[in-house]
Structure 1
Amino acid sequence: MKKLLVCFAVLALLLVPAMAMAYNEGQDLPPGAVEVEHWEWDGSGWVRKAEGDLTALARCWRSNPAGNNCNKKVWTIDFVHHASMAQWCEWSIGGTRWDWRILKPGTYAAECIEFTVKSNNDVVIGFAGFADLEYTETGGVNRFIETYYSYGETIEAADINGWTRASDLNEAPRTVSDSADLHAGVSTKLFNKIIVENCNSSCEYENQGQITITLQNIKRWVDPVTGTWFPPPSVQ
């Protein structure tokens, strides 16, 4: 299946449907905030980052200067140290295409792909276009090869976890909830199963689907398209 990020389909079997939730998109900087230089530790030393450096992994502003004078005994200075942490996501996949070559009718399964997904808050997984493999030309006696997905470390585990029909993955999006496991990385193997019948004519069969991974806590100062800082003067 061409261009198919199918490894994340396992999450549809593990997780609950996505629900509307409120997420904190962050705060605007105080009026008059001024960006300052900062340093980032690269594992061996400090690397200086100048004000406005859009390659930086973090940035810092100062604001609300204060001062006074008189002969009072005690001065109280209120101080606020605030950090706005963006949501990030890392994922990896062992392949985005499966290819079967079949000599005879039968039921076949393969474990071809491993995947890992990490994030520091909820992510929503959406599916579109998943279906049985379809005859790619005109004609054909049975134009479809039944297609299923499951997950686990072994084929026996995949049987125990159950096989989901490809089209059933297109139901409501599913949420991968924020957890220590998600922060560390959730990994598994994905299996596919096809049932080839006598009435499947010789030809090429294919399905193309799409999976979307949507972060749920995008900060107002993060460009949701590029995933990094807005260019000046839009940085908030």
Structure 2
Amino acid sequence: MAGFRVDFSVLLEPLGFVKVLEWIFAIFAFATCGSFQGEITLLVSCKGVVNKTVTAAFAYPFRLNTVEFSAPDPKGCAGTWTDVHLEGDFSSSAQFFVTLAALMFLYCIAVLVAYIGYDHVYQQNSKYPLTDLSISALIAFLWLLSTFVWAKALADIKVATGFSIISGIESCKASGTTCHFVAVTRMGILNVSVVFGLLNAALWGGNVWLVYKDTKLHNQWNRISESPTETGV
């Protein structure tokens, strides 16, 4: 490729090092959210059934309204147990967050290749830093937006899978039927995904400043701020 010149020293500079961190943190954001699998457990007693454990397994992308509890017995508690689903569809928020993380993983690889192979071209053409600045600012905003949206969805998921779900299950209100909430899979890993989202937003925000320092806008501002001093001298 014309102009390709390998120079790994750019990875030791702030702009290259931050890009490596962004690549790593995008992986963690993707993995902590996209790999989650959980389960809700209830203890049900009904006609002909005593303390039967029923479960509902849910996972990314958190379309809870498609998740159904297993029936307490093959006969459905003598007909009193109908199909019981969880409530809520949080797939759009979760997929927004995970898709952004996946795209940033690929984007960081492409940018790192460009930095390593074309850093000399990047430094000589003022258009490249300006383009990099615009893209970095947009990505920082998207990370912040997607993290807030995902954090709100996660809070709603915790409510939808908490002990209060029993009050919304009609089958548990049938005569002779009692339901007790037992447990739900801990969602600490999902809390971690929100933290990584915020870290990514912070990293890309810092990246904006680092790229800005390489643009002609920063150089022009320096010349303007220094000119009064030079005139006074």
What TM-score do you get using the length of structure 1 for normalisation? 0.25
Q: Is the helix fraction higher in 1 or 2?
A: 2
What TM-score do you get using the length of structure 2 for normalisation? 0.25
